[in-house]
Structure 1
């Protein structure tokens, strides 16, 4: 990349700090753009702060979210004592803040430099030192939301990354970030963009609300309540096991504190009864060769599949059958290679919906293909706390674990009235419809910025 700079600044001597698009906007003059620092009242008040995290019980602590948690479809952070942070109010996330991943590398699909607007899924949680938070004077006004769409665009990402300093792990410079010019568009365009961003935020909140409502219906089953008491808190367990042992690891029978055997005694149905005969399989390993659109296909890792706004890689089609690369709508993907940390992706499930059916997935995501009519209710069950613990009982291996397919088929699944299964399925369907609407609205807002606003500076 080359940048021809008319007025190099003594504070920024690296070529990385001169993004051509940003320099063109600067040359357009103050009447066409406004520095970011003039539209925010605080820029990263907790960014770069150092503190020792003191873990505690969820009932006594606050949730600290990492960069990956900010972009997760279902944010879930680490619970720490609030007094771990010297000034906790600076770390608190409120609705309408823009959160930026503030530490990382310049990889094409890395989170570093990406921005997301905080909604009720994130509000009330706390960010760590690697997250840059922008506090707008008026978070919900049209210009603030338009500024977010600009920062979330491809050009905005490049602009944010141009404020980097460091060597291996880059970080953002407040002074350079604050000086980034935010283009000023005609009022009608800013109103359109802001309306789309508001719709995106509302639908993302609806997505999580409906998912939680579906899980509450599942968790209200009497057997689920008892199982939850046994396994909700991860701790050491011991029990007497008289049935055949599926492996030589005590983890596979004892990790749920007896919930596995209890549910096997309560329900006759197993996962193998509600999926196709060939409905549990891994993808195929292959080399990832990078390429540029329109060539190739989008490819998602385990991390990407769990994000609310995925950042897939673009790779050359490896030539395998589509079944090994793609997953049809209704397939449940489970993170199937990793470790047993509470915040890890390993054992967590995600549902393939219409949009994600067009993307190739890593072989490390286990595919579970339910029979017709069972996908939505089964997904709700497997993503409850009990379902998550049961999936992890099938973990085998040493450092990096994987899931045993034969043991997965024997996991107990609920036997419930048709009316309850229908109600759960309707809520899950509503949740993913809302997620699709949110993605479409945000993409359209960013498209307007990139195709109708930026060309007048970048042409």
Structure 2
């Protein structure tokens, strides 16, 4: 339960300022407290005075009928409220291009430097910076776009403020609703934005921009590593399998069925073709590669909540694919050692449903700063036991569309799917020459080093902004 701070209690003046709004959100979220703190600054400006563009630069969009396609020639990447938080944008749904470029929706195209704010649902109030690789994406009506006026404020500085503890309180305080939370553009138009020394604002902006560029390079490197993987094993056609353009799996026959499975999906002709192509290249089965490593789910355990000072953050399947996870904090002392991951482990979301845009069968690569987190049992752990086949090399394969479709074909279960324990060990992994493996692995590792560096720069920008505001208010 949240309560107002006893050191800064809600007063009747605050109630009048909020139009006698009686729901607790703006008071216990710290929104009013943040406003009172910012009033002590020499200069602040309303957010609406610092933006430009469609509807003054703070807008969402109309509700519309979404028609999704798979052919990149006739579609554009489409960001939803969860997608805008994602680290890897490769698997985004694609909106029909003719609709996206129409007069009714063309202004929903994302511009690098925008601040994106989720405006409805469970994720209402989360913020993301439009990095360079989002420049060809369209954003849904559930995202508020904040387009800064470059003649009045630096985009990176504005984002850093909205992401900071002050911006967090102000934006969260604008949320309204009970069952379904909402934020409307006009609710945040009056947020007070502190104006600092131009040199300070410039340094913060450059840090945020550098962070965004590194995250875009991270994306480019991963795509390059996967393409290099299939080129190096002599299967370049698997870089673009055009799954949905192939004939559907209807009315096929299976000459013989073993006791392992009777489920038709496990014998999908399209998946079997993928299996045959992968088997045609020199390689090993996944079960053989993971001998001495790990190929199995995590341990089940009771979660004992803890504060951040004494606990560890637990990452689940939903937030695991975000740039920054937002899991609950648990006591590591009250949990088994298997909650942590070894360096270069691959975590595959192994429980879920078969929706086209669900994370089920999507992989994570655990290295660097992500080794400090704990992980739920819902991930399939893939850890190589062969030093000549590093996890970074395997990840270049598992993040591909071909691997995703193959893993989906190995589903078992009812409402909640899992990846068949016996069939997953039989996945053929093509092995490139050692020099190529090393190069591919190095590309993946470099990508994750850039991602970690991007996080450091963003944290540095936030620390600089917070210190500057606290110094200014005395």
TM-score, scaled to structure 2: 0.87
Could you tell me how far apart the structure 1 residues matched to 2:124 and 2:247 are? 34
Q: Which residue of 2 aligns with 1:108?
A: none
Task: Report if the CA contact (8 A) 2:279-2:430 is conserved.
Answer: no
For the pair 1:313 / 2:328, whether they are aligned, the reply is yes
Could you tell me how far apart the structure 1 residues matched to 2:378 and 2:204 are? 37
For the pair 1:47 / 2:60, whether they are aligned, the reply is yes
Could you tell me how far apart the structure 2 residues matched to 1:230 and 1:36 are? 46
What is the deviation of 1:393? Answer: 2.5
Q: Which residue of 2 aligns with 1:302?
A: 317
* Closer, same or farther: CA 184–21 of 1 in aligned 2, 3 Å: farther
Task: Report if the CA contact (8 A) 2:114-2:155 is conserved.
Answer: no
Task: Report if the CA contact (8 A) 1:52-1:84 is conserved.
Answer: no
Could you tell me how far apart the structure 2 residues matched to 1:229 and 1:237 are? 19
What is the deviation of 1:198? Answer: 1.6
How many pairs align? 450
Q: Which residue of 1 aligns with 2:96?
A: 81
Could you tell me how far apart the structure 2 residues matched to 1:235 and 1:158 are? 51
Deviations 1:294-314, CA, capped at 9 Å, x for gaps: 132111111211111222222
Task: Report if the CA contact (8 A) 2:38-2:194 is conserved.
Answer: no
What is the deviation of 1:63? Answer: 2.1
More divergent stretch after superposition (271-280 vs 305-314): 271-280
Deviations 1:384-425, CA, capped at 9 Å, x for gaps: 111212222221111110112322111000121122212211
What is the deviation of 1:449? Answer: 2.3
Q: Which residue of 2 aligns with 1:216?
A: 227
What is the deviation of 1:260? Answer: 1.3
Q: How does 1:237-276 map to 2 (within 5 A)?
A: 237=249, 239-242=252-255, 245=258, 246-254=260-268, 255-256=270-271, 258-276=273-291
Q: Which residue of 2 aligns with 1:380?
A: 396
Deviations 1:66-107, CA, capped at 9 Å, x for gaps: 1111011112332222454662122110111111111124xx
1:352 to 360, 363, 366: 366
Deviations 1:187-241, CA, capped at 9 Å, x for gaps: 3432332221121011101101111111111232575345567663376225554
Deviations 1:327-355, CA, capped at 9 Å, x for gaps: 02100000101112221111111100111
CA RMSD of aligned residues (A): 2.5
More divergent stretch after superposition (418-427 vs 3-12): 3-12
Could you tell me how far apart the structure 2 residues matched to 1:218 and 1:359 are? 29
Q: Which residue of 1 aligns with 2:80?
A: 66
* Closer, same or farther: CA 46–60 of 1 in aligned 2, 3 Å: farther
What is the deviation of 1:267? Answer: 3.8
Task: Report if the CA contact (8 A) 1:231-1:259 is conserved.
Answer: no
Task: Report if the CA contact (8 A) 2:211-2:453 is conserved.
Answer: yes
Q: Which residue of 2 aligns with 1:22?
A: 34
Task: Report if the CA contact (8 A) 1:165-1:173 is conserved.
Answer: no
TM-score, scaled to structure 1: 0.90
* Closer, same or farther: CA 179–210 of 1 in aligned 2, 3 Å: same
2:69 to 40, 47, 56: 56
Q: Where does the alignment leave 5 or more consecutive residues of structure 1 unmatched?
A: 106-110
Task: Report if the CA contact (8 A) 1:99-1:115 is conserved.
Answer: yes
1:119 to 116, 131, 140: 131
Could you tell me how far apart the structure 2 residues matched to 1:156 and 1:163 are? 11
Could you tell me how far apart the structure 1 residues matched to 2:204 and 2:18 are? 36
* Closer, same or farther: CA 210–243 of 1 in aligned 2, 3 Å: farther
Task: Report if the CA contact (8 A) 1:5-1:23 is conserved.
Answer: no
Could you tell me how far apart the structure 1 residues matched to 2:397 and 2:315 are? 24
Task: Report if the CA contact (8 A) 2:344-2:392 is conserved.
Answer: yes
For the pair 1:9 / 2:17, whether they are aligned, the reply is yes
Q: Which residue of 2 aligns with 1:189?
A: 200
What is the deviation of 1:368? Answer: 0.7
Task: Report if the CA contact (8 A) 1:283-1:366 is conserved.
Answer: yes
List 4+ stretches of structure 1 deviating above 6 A: none
What is the deviation of 1:44? Answer: 6.7
* Closer, same or farther: CA 227–125 of 1 in aligned 2, 3 Å: closer
Could you tell me how far apart the structure 1 residues matched to 2:368 and 2:68 are? 39
Could you tell me how far apart the structure 1 residues matched to 2:287 and 2:314 are? 29
More divergent stretch after superposition (153-162 vs 375-384): 153-162
Could you tell me how far apart the structure 1 residues matched to 2:12 and 2:194 are? 19
